[in-house]
Amino acid sequence: MAHGSPRADYDAIAPFYDSGPGRAKALDPELLAFLENRASSDAPWLLDIACGTGNQLIANRAAVPEANMVGVERSSGMLRQAWQKSRNIAWVQADAAALPFPAASFDFISCQFAIHHFQDKAGMLREAFRVLRPGGRFALRNLCPQESSDWLYYEYFPEAQRADLRDFWPPAAVVASMEGIGFATVSMDYEHLHFEQDLPQWIEIVRRRDTCSQLLAITDTAYEAGLRRLERELEQGTTPQRRADHLCLLTIRGDKPCS
């Protein structure tokens, strides 16, 4: 792929990205928790790495109208979408592992649903640490494939599970890497989402392959096989129309020590 991730071409997806399921963002609770205990009353500097179409920073504006916000992103197509939505945030095109900012520039850095795309994950973590101010916090949020083995996407598209287990580091490896880089008080939380999936609705989402990078990371043959199986089971009534589903999200956060 031309733009960074071997899993998905985000320049091609960009115009449709926000119409996919689960793209809307609420205020980031990690940012709120950080601000609650922040000693300084100066306007904070916020960075979102791999900001996509900018939804997280735009949602955060309500909590910190005075904040200086920067979104960094590899895909110019995704940045174009962000820029059309907000002109009071700096949208910067760069690789997550080569951030074009001086050391100690930001108070709070987020990186959401993107680490599996990065070729140089350790490089991104090192860069986040470098550009963070002493006393600042980095918060990483992702799907956790190691805890999501019963996710319906993996049942119908087992190649996607193998790709995810290859492309996401195990949580303990992320924590160890962050601690090795110098982050302090590194902690993590799992969020287990249990819900009911309506299969006739889900198949329409699955047919729009670009709604989910799990479907883009697999071969056409594997995608077609999973889709045909789902169609067949629904036609023949060999699967219930509503199925219990589960996936796990993971947040890992760490602080840059003050001295």
Ligand X SMILES: C[S@@+](CC[C@H](N)C(=O)[O-])C[C@H]1O[C@@H](n2cnc3c(N)ncnc32)[C@H](O)[C@@H]1O
Residues that bind ligand X (CB under 6 A): 4-5, 10, 50-52, 55, 73-75, 78, 95-96, 112-114, 117-118, 213
CA 220 from chain centre, in angstroms, equals 24
Opening angle at CA 49, ends 45 and 55, nearest 5? 85
Here the tokens at position 59 are 């949602």
Q: What is the DSSP string of 130-190?
A: HHEEEEEEEEEEEE-GGG-TT-HHHHH-HHHHHHHHHHSPPHHHHHHHHHHHT-EEEEEEE
**Minimum CB–partner distance for residue 124 and ligand X (Å):** 7
48/159 with CB nearer ligand X: 48
**Minimum CB–partner distance for residue 50 and ligand X (Å):** 3
96/181 with CB nearer ligand X: 96
Residue 7 is given by DSSP the state: S
**Minimum CB–partner distance for residue 7 and ligand X (Å):** 8
Question: What's the rounded Cα separation, in Å, for the pair 172 and 143?
Answer: 14
**Minimum CB–partner distance for residue 147 and ligand X (Å):** 19
Question: What's the rounded Cα separation, in Å, for the pair 29 and 36?
Answer: 11
100/180 with CB nearer ligand X: 100
**Minimum CB–partner distance for residue 54 and ligand X (Å):** 8
CA nearest neighbour of 186 among 125, 231, 127, 143: 125
**Minimum CB–partner distance for residue 114 and ligand X (Å):** 4
| Residue whose pair of structure tokens reads 């945030």 in the numeric block | 89
Question: What's the rounded Cα separation, in Å, for the pair 232 and 130?
Answer: 52
CA nearest neighbour of 253 among 162, 137, 147, 152: 137
Alpha helices in 28-92 (DSSP H): 29-36, 55-60, 76-85
CB 77 within 8 A of CB 15: yes
**Minimum CB–partner distance for residue 72 and ligand X (Å):** 6
112/251 with CB nearer ligand X: 112
13/199 with CB nearer ligand X: 13
74/133 with CB nearer ligand X: 74
75/161 with CB nearer ligand X: 75
